[in-house]
Structure 1
Amino acid sequence: MKLFTVGPTQMRKEVMEVGGELVPYFRTKEFSNVMLDSDRLLKKFMHAEENAKSIYLTASGTAAMEAVIMNCLTSDDKVLIIDGGTFGHRFVQLCDIHEVPYERVVLSADEQLMEKHLRPFENVGITALLVNIDETSTGQLYDTQLLSDFCKKTSAYFIVDAISSYLIDPFNMEKYGIDATIVSSQKGLCIAPGLSVVVLSNKLIKDRVENNQIHNLYFNFNEYLKNFQRGQTPFTPCVGICMEMNKALHLIDEQGEENFLNHIDMVAKDFREKVKELPVSIPAFPLSNAVTPVIFDKPIAKKVFEILKDDYDIYVNPTGGEREQYVLRVAHIGDTTIEDNSMLIDYMKKAIKKATEDLE
């Protein structure tokens, strides 16, 4: 099996070996030290401010998104949501459920986020901006500086879902004044699904988390902040995945963050050059290094996905909704190489030929 998927990803052998070990008992000083060590490296690669604090949730990325809204926003807020795809729209759904008032920047699948989209919201009392910085459903990597400038101009909290961008694209929490960063284990960390992390600025903790009274036991951030002072969580964590995280972070540290990101960038650029050999196109807007949307002229995308999976044991990401038959997404994260790109292109040629013949 070979994964060219955004998550789970093609995991490194060293991490899989950790995943095969006996899961240790966790209410110990030794496990606390592992978590504190991981937290140091995770925030180092996030370029978080010195007094930023982390929340470790045994939950999916969507749960972490919801937890941020519950702990950091209220019905007195007025937030701006970048609604440019499936995951941006998830923030809309969550704000509806939790009765947080919002405005939206709605983007079509091929529309680039620009300053003109934000300008109408500069003087309407926006208190927070919510964005999936890499809208994985379309592949667009939004301009972090543009969004940061808007938040500074409007004194709005900057809340970023970086699940498909952290440890994939350059990311700097302190430089851009990001108040909350949401990440999940199965993306850039390239470990098993099941762990999500929220890193909070001291300002957001003091202004909101410590003062919001939420009616929820499991997702109450104050309990997590108190417990993590000793490297623990208030409820049972996904211990095995936490051990994988520590190994993965140390592998990145040994390689060097810049070298690690440069490899992903190189693999992404190589694929985007090689894909020109196929009868497909890719979007013109800025793309995250996480994924390349591959656009077909004919309605064969789902069939190509199935042929790659069933005939060659190769997995790429299908696309849901109205673009299901026309778009596949190929990820460049995990243990993948330029040689893997060449192999994938060869099999995609065969799959496209067969899918086209079947269509006719």
Structure 2
Amino acid sequence: MKLFTVGPTQMRKEILDVRHQQVPYFRTDEFSDVMLDSDRLLKKFMNAPSGAKSIYLTASGTGGLEATIMNCMNETDHALVINGGTFGQRFVDLCELHGIPHTEIKLHDDEQLIESHFTGVADKDFTFVIANIDETSTAQLYDIHLLSDFAKKKNAYLVIDAISSFLIDPYDMAGNGIDVTIISSQKGLCIAPGLSPIVVSERLYEDRVKNNNIKNLYFDFNQYVKNFTRGQTPFTPAVGVCLEMNKALHLIEEEGYENYLARIDNVAKDFRNRMKELPVFMPTFTLSNAVTPIRFEEPIAKDVFTVLKDKYDIYVNPTGGKNENYVLRVAHIGDTTIEDNQFLVDTLKSVIKDITGK
């Protein structure tokens, strides 16, 4: 099996070696030390602001999104949500579910987020600005400076879902005034699903989270912050995934954070250059290095996905909704190389020819 998917990713051997070990008992000083060590590296790589609080949820990324809405916001707020696809819509759905007043900037297919979108809502007051910095369903990488500048003008808290961008694209939490960073284990960390770390700025924690008094046991950030002073979580964490996280972060430290990002950038650029050999095209907006959307001229995307999976044991990301027959997404994270790119493109050539006869 070869994964060119944005999560779960093709795992490195060193991570698979950790997965094959017995999961240990976790209410120990030794496990606490591992978690505190991981937290140090995680905050270092995202340049978390001083005093930031960490929450380690055993949940999917959507659990992290919902927990953030519940703990940080209430019905007195007004949130601006960037809705550029499936995951932007998820934030909109969560705001509606939890009664958070909100306005959305709705982007159409292939529409890039630009400054004029914010001009259209400049007359409104906002307490939060919310965005998926990489809208995974389209691969658009939003301009963090546009988001940060607008949040500062409105004196609003900035909430960023960096699930498919952190440890893939450059990310600077403190430098860009980000108050919440949400990530998930199966994306940039390139480990198993099941863990969603959330880092909250000290100002947002003290101003809002600490006194929000949500009526929820499992997702109460205050309990996680209290327990993590000793490197623990209030409920059973995904212990094995936590150990994978520690290994993954140390592998990045050994390679060097900048070198790690540069390697992913090189793989992404190489694949996009090789796409010229195929009868496909990609959007014109800025793309994350995580994934490349490839659009077919004919409605064959589902057929290509199925043949890759069933005949070659190769997995790429399908796309739902109205684009399901036209768009596939190819990820560049995990244990993938330029040689893998060549193998995939050569295989795609063969599959497309078999399907279309061209």
TM-score range, shorter chain: over 0.9
Alignment correspondent of 1:328: 328
Q: Within 5 Å, which residues of 2 pair with 1:1-360?
A: 1-357=1-357
Write the letter of the residue equivalent to 1:342.
Q
Q: Partner of 2:35: helix, strand, or coil?
A: helix
Write the letter of the residue equivalent to 1:26.
F
Give the alignment's TM-score, normalised by structure 1: 0.99
Q: Partner of 2:159: helix, strand, or coil?
A: strand
Instruction: Find runs of 4+ consecutive structure 1 residues off by over 6 angstroms.
Output: none
In 2, Cα distance between the equivalents of 1:354 and 1:164? Answer: 33
C-alpha offsets along residues 157-192 of structure 1, whole Å, 9 cap, x if unaligned? 000000000000000000000000000000000000
In 2, Cα distance between the equivalents of 1:248 and 1:184? Answer: 13
Give the alignment's TM-score, normalised by structure 2: 0.99
8 Å Cα contact 1:95-1:101 kept in structure 2: yes
Write the letter of the residue equivalent to 2:185.
S
Q: Partner of 2:66: helix, strand, or coil?
A: helix
Give the drift of 1:356: 1.4
Q: Partner of 2:129: helix, strand, or coil?
A: strand
Q: CA RMSD in A?
A: 0.8
Give the drift of 1:120: 2.2
8 Å Cα contact 2:128-2:151 kept in structure 1: yes
Q: Partner of 1:121: helix, strand, or coil?
A: coil
Write the letter of the residue equivalent to 1:75.
E
Q: Partner of 2:43: helix, strand, or coil?
A: helix
Aligned length: 358
Write the letter of the residue equivalent to 2:205.
I
8 Å Cα contact 1:81-1:131 kept in structure 2: yes
C-alpha offsets along residues 23-42 of structure 1, whole Å, 9 cap, x if unaligned? 00000000000000000000
In 2, Cα distance between the equivalents of 1:53 and 1:351? Answer: 48
In 2, Cα distance between the equivalents of 1:205 and 1:354? Answer: 56
In 2, Cα distance between the equivalents of 1:158 and 1:168? Answer: 20
In 1, Cα distance between the equivalents of 2:222 and 2:37? Answer: 21
In 2, Cα distance between the equivalents of 1:12 and 1:319? Answer: 26
Give the drift of 1:122: 2.3
In 2, Cα distance between the equivalents of 1:150 and 1:356? Answer: 47
8 Å Cα contact 1:56-1:233 kept in structure 2: yes
Q: Partner of 1:306: helix, strand, or coil?
A: helix
Give the drift of 1:50: 2.0
In 2, Cα distance between the equivalents of 1:109 and 1:239? Answer: 40
Give the drift of 1:121: 1.9
In 1, Cα distance between the equivalents of 2:72 and 2:122? Answer: 21
In 2, Cα distance between the equivalents of 1:124 and 1:275? Answer: 43
Give the drift of 1:123: 2.8
In 2, Cα distance between the equivalents of 1:355 and 1:104? Answer: 40
C-alpha offsets along residues 188-219 of structure 1, whole Å, 9 cap, x if unaligned? 00000000010000001001100101000000
8 Å Cα contact 1:122-1:153 kept in structure 2: no
In 2, Cα distance between the equivalents of 1:139 and 1:183? Answer: 16
8 Å Cα contact 2:50-2:202 kept in structure 1: no
8 Å Cα contact 1:7-1:187 kept in structure 2: yes
In 2, Cα distance between the equivalents of 1:72 and 1:12? Answer: 36
Write the letter of the residue equivalent to 1:102.
H
